[in-house]
Amino acid sequence: MGGARSSEQFVQSPNSTFFTEEELNKLKSEYKTGGLEKITPLLQKKVKELDSTEVNIAVTGESGAGKSTFINAMRELQDGDEGAAKTGTTETTMEPTGFPHPTLPNVCFWDLPGIGTKQFPANKYLREMKFKTYDFFIIISYCRFTENDLKLAKEIKRLGKNFYFVRSKIDGDLDSMKKQRKEFNEEEELEKIRNDCVSKLLEAGIPSPNVFLISSFDLNLYDFNLLNEALEDNLPDIKKSVFILALPNLNEEIVEKKRKELRKRVWMLATLSGVVGAVPVPGISLACDIAILVGGIIHFRKCLGLDDASIQRLANKAEKPVGVLKAVVKTPLVGEVTPDLITRGAWGVAVVTISALEIALDIIPVIGSIFGAGSSFLMTYKILSGALDELTENAQRVVKAAFGTDDHPSDTIPPTDHPS
Ligand SMILES: Nc1nc2c(ncn2[C@@H]2O[C@H](COP(=O)(O)OP(=O)(O)OP(=O)(O)O)[C@@H](O)[C@H]2O)c(=O)[nH]1
Ligand SMILES: [Mg+2]
């Protein structure tokens, strides 16, 4: 079979794994001399790192710009929900408050108070907000570009941090325009707003500024996806992965992105399963580390938004009864994950061979020969891959049921058979 790539080729594609080239080389040489056991500590360290890496996102801007509303939207919450940031038409947020992601608490959105109020004149604000501790900043601006927006942009740049300029409440701008004028071209108006912000930032000496137009009431519209892509591009590999997994499940593209991130973990977990704690599982003919299997599946489920609380949040956001979303979930993997359930599922038990092509596509760096090395690797690999695919399909259906609209009738109406 000619599809498999050599391990050297994997090393050459730096974005395909969580490992640096140096780490991959180390993995390779350790595996050559000491086999699986020797690379276990390296993999364990990496898996731990993936689970413990924090991403801290600061959301700043003038009072009333929509900072708290944006954070709630990112966390799939609405004003008044338990744990949501308070929002309102009067100055609301008085000190930096961390809002962890509801299911992945390592991702934290920091709601900063508004800059330029009596309580926080610009200079005091820039002094007190401890700007250094965040991974990146989102400056939220609304209506007009202001002096305070500029001060924030310059200060963050001075500290050598990235910021993304978000122009919020675009829905409101468009509504006003519609009321004032009978005819207008939405795209042109959006472009005008974008250009205005960009040119002001350029005038202030900010090179190639990023400006994104959004409505926190409907993140599926305007520039939200572009904003995420820009954020992802500028985060280092592991933080990028953690950030992607914490995105709100707004559309199928986001769910697919999450699947790809989770997929990168499967070979690592499978390798670990071959070495530590492999025990015979009743019903599976081969030894497996059941804790790794169960833990992996539960983690996938949480990241894909298939736990009860996440489905409920999505239903609230989409203003649909939760039963409508739950009705499209067709996998027992959302219930209690037990060894028994795993053995009854079709995930991997039937076929335990992995093709060379699969090895190539599934980004198993360095140790292609591992397939001969441990049967529990094969078993765990198959079960986790199968479970991930099944959970992804279900997550896609839930997102469609939540946000599939009449604009996309083909998403919701099954194709009809044409009589020939
Ligand atoms: N139409 C529209 N209204 C928004 C949007 N985002 C926020 N708002 C409204 O703007 C008002 C202020 O929003 P907040 O999120 O409380 O603003 P803030 O920046 O946190 O304000 P402070 O905490 O005082 O600094 C609220 O009434 C929100 O409902 C949006 O995208 N579209
Ligand atoms: Mg606020």
Q: N- to C-terminal Cα distance for the chain?
A: 40
For the residues 382-391, what does the mean pLDDT come to?
A: 90
- Alpha-carbon distance of 202 to 155, in angstroms, equals 15
CB atoms within 10 A of CB 333: 22
For the residues 170-177, what does the mean pLDDT come to?
A: 92
Q: Give distance in angstroms: CA of 248 to centre of ligand 2.
A: 20
**DSSP string for 177-241:** HHHH-S---HHHHHHHHHHHHHHHHHHTT-SS--EEE--TT-TTSTTHHHHHHHHHHTS-HHHHH
**Per-residue pLDDT tens digits for 230-245:** 998 888 889 999 999 9
For the residues 286-308, what does the mean pLDDT come to?
A: 87
Examine the pLDDT at 22 and tell me if it is beyond 70.
yes
CB of 94 sitting under 6 A from ligand 1: no
From the number of C-beta atoms within 10 Å of its C-beta (0-12, 13-18, 19+), residue 414 rates as exposed
- The CA distances from residue 93 to 16, 64, 96, 130, 358, in Å, are 40, 9, 8, 16, 51
- Among protein residues, the one with the nearest Cα to ligand 1's atom 10 is 66
For the residues 296-318, what does the mean pLDDT come to?
A: 94
Which residue is associated with the tokens 């929002």?
87
**DSSP string for 327-378:** TT---GGGS---HHHHHHS-SSSS-----HHHHHHTT--S-GGGGGT-HHHH
For the residues 44-48, what does the mean pLDDT come to?
A: 90
CB of 114 sitting under 6 A from ligand 1: yes
CB of 113 sitting under 6 A from ligand 1: yes
Q: What is the pLDDT of residue 180?
A: 86
Q: What is the pLDDT of residue 10?
A: 33
Q: Which atom of ligand 1 is nearest to the CA of 86?
A: 16
Q: What is the pLDDT of residue 418?
A: 42
Examine the pLDDT at 410 and tell me if it is beyond 50.
no
Examine the pLDDT at 82 and tell me if it is beyond 90.
no
- Among protein residues, the one with the nearest Cα to ligand 1's atom 6 is 66
What class has domain 54-244?
Answer: alpha beta
User: Which of the residue ranges 59-73, 92-106, 133-147, 274-288 would you say has the lowest mean pLDDT?
Assistant: 274-288
Q: What is the pLDDT of residue 280?
A: 55
Q: Between 96 and 16, where is the model more confident?
A: 96
* Percentage of residues in the chain having pLDDT higher than 90: 38
- In terms of Cα–Cα distance, which of 76, 58, 55 is closest to 67? 58
Examine the pLDDT at 276 and tell me if it is beyond 60.
no
Residues of the chain with CATH 3.40.50.300: 54-244
- Alpha-carbon distance of 60 to 165, in angstroms, equals 10
Structure tokens, 230: 């820009």
Among 69, 94, 110, the mutation site with the greatest number of ligand 1 atoms within 8 A of its Cβ is 69
| Nearest ligand (C-alpha, residue 224) | 1
**DSSP string for 61-93:** EBTTSSHHHHHHHHTT--TTSTTPPP--SS---
| pTM (two decimals) | 0.85
Residues with Cβ within 8 Å of 354's Cβ and at least 6 positions away in sequence, in order, are: 371, 378, 381, 382
Examine the pLDDT at 330 and tell me if it is beyond 90.
yes
Q: What is the pLDDT of residue 357?
A: 47
Q: Between 33 and 128, where is the model more confident?
A: 33
Examine the pLDDT at 346 and tell me if it is beyond 50.
yes
- Alpha-carbon distance of 347 to 384, in angstroms, equals 8
* 3 state SS of 258: helix
For the residues 253-266, what does the mean pLDDT come to?
A: 92
Q: What is the pLDDT of residue 213?
A: 96
- Alpha-carbon distance of 48 to 268, in angstroms, equals 11
Q: What is the pLDDT of residue 251?
A: 94
Examine the pLDDT at 293 and tell me if it is beyond 90.
no
Q: Between 13 and 314, where is the model more confident?
A: 314
pLDDT classification of 369: cutoffs 50, 70, 90: low
Q: What is the mean pLDDT of the chain?
A: 80
- The CA distances from residue 407 to 215, 402, 403, 415, in Å, are 19, 14, 10, 16
CB of 314 sitting under 6 A from ligand 1: no
For the residues 210-227, what does the mean pLDDT come to?
A: 93
Structure tokens, 128: 């007190």
Q: Give distance in angstroms: CA of 142 to centre of ligand 2.
A: 14
Q: Give distance in angstroms: CA of 128 to centre of ligand 2.
A: 17
Residues with Cβ within 8 Å of 177's Cβ and at least 6 positions away in sequence, in order, are: 184, 189
Q: Between 116 and 285, where is the model more confident?
A: 116
Q: Best-predicted range by mean pLDDT among 80-84, 277-281, 295-299, 332-336? A: 295-299
Examine the pLDDT at 403 and tell me if it is beyond 80.
yes
- Among protein residues, the one with the nearest Cα to ligand 1's atom 8 is 66
Q: Give me Rg for the CA atoms of the chain.
A: 24
Examine the pLDDT at 188 and tell me if it is beyond 70.
yes
